[in-house]
Amino acid sequence: MNQETEKTLAFFGRMTANLTHEFKNILAIIQESAGLMEDIMAISPLAKDKYQERFNNSMNTIKNQLQRGMEMASRFNRFAHAPDHNSAELELGETMVHFCTLTERFARLKHITLQADRQNDQEIKITTNPLLLYMVLFYSLDACLSVLPAQCEIRLISVKKDEKTAVEIACAGKQAPSPEQFFTGLRQSNAWGDLENTAEQLNAELKCNTDDLCFYLILK
Amino acid sequence: MNQETEKTLAFFGRMTANLTHEFKNILAIIQESAGLMEDIMAISPLAKDKYQERFNNSMNTIKNQLQRGMEMASRFNRFAHAPDHNSAELELGETMVHFCTLTERFARLKHITLQADRQNDQEIKITTNPLLLYMVLFYSLDACLSVLPAQCEIRLISVKKDEKTAVEIACAGKQAPSPEQFFTGLRQSNAWGDLENTAEQLNAELKCNTDDLCFYLILK
């Protein structure tokens, strides 16, 4: 297989493996709650009323997880169809909410908060290659996660910069490194090289704000 | 993106989209059973005993689906890691059980039975490219599904043929086409061209048994 196929598949494989872990988590929580409900039902009829509240709590947990699972499945289905089109019209803020839902676990494992935002609540429509856009967001996230310590936060913000459409990747946190350490770390990470190559394929420009823990993917 | 990347991603995307549908099905069944349990619990305490059996049935359905979901997540996780290695040692029969669990829905949607078997229960170990193997199995299945009517069956059997390791793809069914129609249909399907190309990449030989609804992927 050629290098492009390997890189793209490695990305897709990591996203998919991540999804299977999220599903296992969802099912495990449902399993725990269902087990508790079963225990309650196994007690005498009088005890059932006593534990009504715990029973209801378990049922609510199950319902919440079912909803979370359904949403995750729908979003991942949409992601799985990203390679179908070389070009599609997207609303950038919504795409980033979508991306953050799918990848939030990567940040969670490092105790880092991941969040999507829109500058001034402004909707920005762009026509782009959806898969390459997901890939640049993924490599940006991966690079940041490799240099930030726990308790930091990463925000992906859809912005207008110099009259162009861009994604701002802004990091913060009490224990965060200095901008100099941050950018040195990013450039040394494996993900950064992939980010540069993929940004080039997408005709996107990578611009670092070296005064702050912030860089931009300028899309057009 | 080059053609190889597009083809491989299209395959991976279809497998992943299929998984998200399976998960939605699992969650929908759990949701239905949980809803029924909630209804029962909302009735007076005396009624609870009356509906104990229905309650237990719902709980069992939930537990079965949880187990199915966990297994599906584990198997898909393994699949998602297939691109990690260009070469791996596999037991062929087990790999086909694995593949059939992941793709059974494609057959189910067409009311066709999909089954994995081992010839004489014999374990066969091979060293091969796992992703390309999945791809040739997928295209074989896809080609068969495009020509077989409902109620047919497809069996993937790990065999030794002419002292070589092979996968036998054997189709049957009362409404099945004649061998001539079957092979004409296969060769006209979109999947057949992909199968031939991918088999070549895998150094596998494609051999049709034109007396029967059966063909072989001879692996080495």
Q: Where are the beta strands (DSSP E) in B46-150?
A: 88-91, 113-118, 125-128
Contact (CB, 8 A) for A161 and A134? no
Q: Match 């990305």 to its residue by tokens.
A: A11
Same domain, A74 and A91: no
Residue A209 dihedral angles phi and psi, to the nearest 5°: -100, 90
Same domain, A104 and A68: no
Nearest to A66 among B19, B30, B63 (CB): B30
Domain boundary among A65, A80, A95: A80
Identify the residue with better confidence: B3 or A173: A173
Same domain, A166 and A181: yes
Same domain, A70 and A169: no
Write the CATH number for A202: 3.30.565.10
Element containing residue B199 per DSSP (H, E) = helix B190-201
Q: Does A175 have pLDDT greater than 90?
A: yes
Burial class (CB in 10 A: 0-12, 13-18, 19+), B7: middle
Identify the residue with better confidence: A172 or A120: A172
Residues 6+ apart with CB under 8 A from B195: B136, B139, B140, B143, B206
- A8, A55, A56: best mutation site toward chain B, by most B Cβ within 10 Å? A8
Domain boundary among A80, A107, A132: A80
Contacts of A24 in chain B (CB under 8 A): 70, 73-74
Domain boundary among B56, B80, B104: B80
Q: Where are the beta strands (DSSP E) in chain B?
A: 88-91, 113-118, 125-128, 153-161, 164-172, 205-209, 214-218
Average pLDDT, chain A: 92
pLDDT tens profile A105-154: 999 999 999 999 998 889 999 999 999 999 999 999 999 999 999 999 99
Among A168, A182, A219, A180, CA closest to A198: A219
CA distance B43 to chain A (A): 11
Burial class (CB in 10 A: 0-12, 13-18, 19+), A163: exposed
Question: How confident is the model at residue B5, as a pLDDT?
Answer: 87
Question: How confident is the model at residue A137, as a pLDDT?
Answer: 97
Asked if B62 and A30 come within 8 Å (Cβ–Cβ), the reply is yes
Q: How far is CA B123 from CA A28, B118, B134, B151, B205, in A?
A: 33, 7, 18, 29, 21
Same domain, B16 and B115: no
Same domain, B130 and B113: yes
Q: Does A14 have pLDDT greater than 80?
A: yes
Same domain, B107 and B188: yes
Question: How confident is the model at residue A56, as a pLDDT?
Answer: 85
Q: Helix (H, G, I), strand (E, B), or coil: what is residue A170?
A: strand
Q: At what angle do helices A3-42 and A92-109 cross, to 10 degrees?
A: 70
Q: Where are the beta strands (DSSP E) in A66-187?
A: 88-91, 113-118, 125-128, 153-161, 164-172
Alpha helices per DSSP H over B81-129: 92-109
Same domain, B97 and B42: no
Question: How confident is the model at residue B45, as a pLDDT?
Answer: 60
- B3, B6, B7, B8: best mutation site toward chain A, by most A Cβ within 10 Å? B8
Question: How confident is the model at residue B46, as a pLDDT?
Answer: 65
In eight-state DSSP terms, residue B151 is T
Task: Return the residue of B nearest to A47 by Cα.
Answer: B45
Task: For chain B, give the percent of residues with pLDDT over 70.
Answer: 98
Phi and psi based region of residue A108 (left: phi greater than 0; alpha: psi -120 to 50; beta: remaining): alpha
Antiparallel, parallel or unpaired: β A164-172 and A153-161: antiparallel
Residue type at B150? A
Nearest to A81 among B13, B38, B83 (CB): B13
Residues 6+ apart with CB under 8 A from A27: A69, B66, B69, B70, B73
Total domains present in chain A: 2
Question: How confident is the model at residue B47, as a pLDDT?
Answer: 67
Q: Does A189 have pLDDT greater than 80?
A: yes
Contact (CB, 8 A) for A93 and A165? no
Q: Helix (H, G, I), strand (E, B), or coil: what is residue A123?
A: coil
Residues of chain B with pLDDT under 70: 44-48
Question: How confident is the model at residue A44, as a pLDDT?
Answer: 66
Same domain, A150 and A42: no
Residue type at B67? Q
Asked if B4 and A6 come within 8 Å (Cβ–Cβ), the reply is no
Q: Which two tokens stand for residue A63?
A: 């319902």
Same domain, B153 and B178: yes
pLDDT tens profile B64-98: 999 999 999 999 999 999 988 889 999 999 999 99
Domain range holding A12?
3-80
Asked if B83 and A6 come within 8 Å (Cβ–Cβ), the reply is yes
Residue-level length of chain A: 220
Contacts of B79 in chain A (CB under 8 A): 16
Question: How confident is the model at residue A47, as a pLDDT?
Answer: 66
Contacts of B76 in chain A (CB under 8 A): 16, 20
Q: At what angle do helices B3-42 and A52-80 cross, to 10 degrees?
A: 160
Question: How confident is the model at residue B180, as a pLDDT?
Answer: 96
Contacts of B14 in chain A (CB under 8 A): 80
Q: Does A163 have pLDDT greater than 90?
A: no
Task: Please give the Cα distance from A54 to B45 (Å, whole number).
Answer: 16
The neighbour count for residue A47, using CB atoms within 10 Å, is 12
Three-point CA angle B73, B18, B219, nearest 5°: 85
Question: How confident is the model at residue A212, as a pLDDT?
Answer: 94
Contacts of B69 in chain A (CB under 8 A): 23, 27
Same domain, B134 and B210: yes
Question: How confident is the model at residue B63, as a pLDDT?
Answer: 93
Q: Does A46 have pLDDT greater than 70?
A: no
Nearest to A9 among B2, B12, B46 (CB): B12
pLDDT tens profile A70-112: 999 999 999 999 988 889 999 999 999 999 999 999 999 999 9
Task: Please give the Cα distance from B156 to B140 (Å, whole number).
Answer: 10
Same domain, B136 and B165: yes
